[in-house]
Amino acid sequence: MQKTQDNWESENKVDSENLNHLKKRFGDSFYLFDLEQLRANYLNMFSAFKSRYSNIIIGYSYKTNYLPTLIKEISNLGGYAEVVSRIEYDLALKIRVDPKKIIFNGPLKSQEDIALALKEGSIVNLDSFYEIEIIKDLILKDKSKNYKVGLRVNFDMTIDGMSPLQDGFKQSRFGFCLENGNFEKALSELNKIENLTVVGLHGHCSTHIRSLKVYEKITQTLCDISKEYMSNTLEYLDIGGGFYGNVPETMQLNNVPSYDDYATTICSIMNKEKAHFKNEPFLIMEPGLSIVVDTFKFFCKVVDVKKNKNEYFVLVDGSVHNIKPTIYKKNTPMELVKTNKDVYKADKFNVVGCTCMEKDYLLIDYIGEIPKIGDFLIFSNVGAYTIVLNPPFIKERPPIIAKIGKNFKIVRQKEKLDDFINSNVYVF
Ligand SMILES: Cc1ncc(COP(=O)(O)O)c(C=O)c1O
């Protein structure tokens, strides 16, 4: 089939010929979003859990990547929206998510936010005592309706004598602490309100190990707490996100559980415990990274190659913010697309970005064929946090191209000055 601008026959592999085509259409740096991979990830997770436990809900964590095309697809697939701020809540409404399919979490919710979410019948999980004061104020004013809320629980997550929390924290900052009595205090405050029922528990935990033991602990602890305090009223247990998705071999991680492994562990606990509750509770999951990380690739052109002392520095049209905004050291998988016919020599090199920060490294001490000017580097596994945590800093943000079947569609334009420093927002 002939390659045309609007209907471009895709090959699985990007070579210099089809790259040329992409480059002409989309410029020297862009993201490619694979919509079908997103569908496959969602459906894999859904079927792994649904085949083992009947009442499941997948609420996609908006903050991980709220590209409208992506969140609309999740919604079309039946997924709920997990939001942690009013702006994310409003975004879900804007793409016409049924408010009953919005899970409102997060540490900061105003009185107005809570009032709206409760009125609309969204799932609201409270995180701190100030929200209980808001609830009292709101609900005591309106006794005509019955309201429901959930509570985020903070419990000791020590596994094999160590805290698995991300960034080495010993103690999570979120939720009502079980060990010091705050959880019980929060529950008893809320139970005093006649027309309010606590119907759910939330136990998300961001760990660096993402292991089965983490989910065994979360699921069992939530079951134990609800058996003790709310066996007649429980409607859902929300175990949060934090799962692994597809992990590329080059990342050299061992013992990465699959969705089937996670589902076997979690659902066996749910099935063992469900008889303790008046109604079979829903199991809610809030995946972010695992659903989206492998759906994005970042393409960028090599602009220069130079040596400082003995080290090679390859400058690209992009920055570390485009592939790992949290600036961790580990290298992300990279593929070199050669556009030169000359011989390539293998050596150690760094890939650096277009900002003026010394720490703007896309790859450090990478060993492979040294790229040449005009080549392209394709970084994969960059779908989590890159779109949402990509600051308007020095250079406009690149366009995002969605690959939908065999077609390519621009789903975010390359920014211009007025998008970067918006004159509706800034005073000129
Ligand atoms: C409450 C909550 N749910 C879900 C997630 C998604 O986690 P992940 O992207 O690791 O799946 C997060 C991430 O921090 C979170 O805070």
Q: How far apart are the first and last CA of the chain?
A: 51
CA 422–ligand 1 middle distance (angstroms) = 30
Probe ligand 1: pick from 128, 286, 385, 387, max atoms within 8 Å of CB?
Answer: 286
**Lookup result for tokens 């935990």:** 205
Which atom in ligand 1 lies closest to the alpha carbon of residue 290?
11
SS3 (DSSP) at 139: helix
Residue 321 has a pLDDT of 97
371 lines ligand 1 (CB under 6 A): no
Residues 350-390: pLDDT tens digits? 999 999 999 999 999 999 999 999 999 999 999 999 999 99
Nearest-CA residue for atom 4 of ligand 1: 241
Residue 329 has a pLDDT of 87
Residue 14 has a pLDDT of 67
The CATH number of the domain covering residues in 11-34+295-414 = 2.40.37.10
Q: How far apart are the C-alpha atoms of 346 and 107, rounded to whole Å?
A: 49
Q: Which fold has domain 35-287?
A: TIM Barrel (3.20.20)
| 334-337/29-34 β-pairing | unpaired
CA 56–ligand 1 middle distance (angstroms) = 17
Tell me which DSSP letter residue 251 carries: G
Tell me which DSSP letter residue 294 carries: G
Residue 9 has a pLDDT of 41
Which atom in ligand 1 lies closest to the alpha carbon of residue 289?
9
Degrees to nearest 5, angle at CA 246 with 241 and 250: 125
Among residues 346, 358, 359, 356, which one has the least CA distance to residue 312?
346
Residue 2 has a pLDDT of 37
Nearest-CA residue for atom 5 of ligand 1: 241
SS3 (DSSP) at 396: coil
CA torsion, ordered 83, 86, 87, 88, to nearest 10 deg: 10
> How do the residues of the chain divide into helix, strand and coil, expressed in percent and rounded to 5?
35, 25, 40
Tell me which DSSP letter residue 225 carries: H
Residue 13 has a pLDDT of 63
281 lines ligand 1 (CB under 6 A): no
Residue 140 has a pLDDT of 82
Degrees to nearest 5, angle at CA 289 with 403 and 74: 55
Write out the residue limits of the CATH 3.20.20.10 domain(s) in the chain.
35-287
Amino acid, res. 286: E
Probe ligand 1: pick from 204, 218, 285, max atoms within 8 Å of CB?
Answer: 204
Write out the residue limits of the CATH 2.40.37.10 domain(s) in the chain.
11-34+295-414
CA 301–ligand 1 middle distance (angstroms) = 32
172 lines ligand 1 (CB under 6 A): no
Q: How far apart are the C-alpha atoms of 63 and 389, rounded to whole Å?
A: 9
Which atom in ligand 1 lies closest to the alpha carbon of residue 106?
1
CA 286–ligand 1 middle distance (angstroms) = 6
Residue 251 has a pLDDT of 80
Q: How far apart are the C-alpha atoms of 162 and 424, rounded to whole Å?
A: 49
Are 105 and 204 in contact by the 8 Å Cβ rule? The answer is yes
Taking the CA of residue 86 as centre, how many other CA atoms within 13 Å lie in the half-sphere pointing to its CB? 9
Among residues 379, 412, 228, 192, which one has the least CA distance to residue 299?
379
Q: Which stretches of the chain score pLDDT less than 70?
A: 1-15
Q: What is the pTM of this model?
A: 0.94
Task: Dump the DSSP string for 20-84.
Answer: HHHHHHH-SEEEEEEHHHHHHHHHHHHHHHHTT-SSEEEEEEGGG---HHHHHHHHHTT-EEEES
Residue 7 has a pLDDT of 38
Query: Which residues lie closer than 8 Å to 428 by C-beta, 6 or more apart?
Result: none
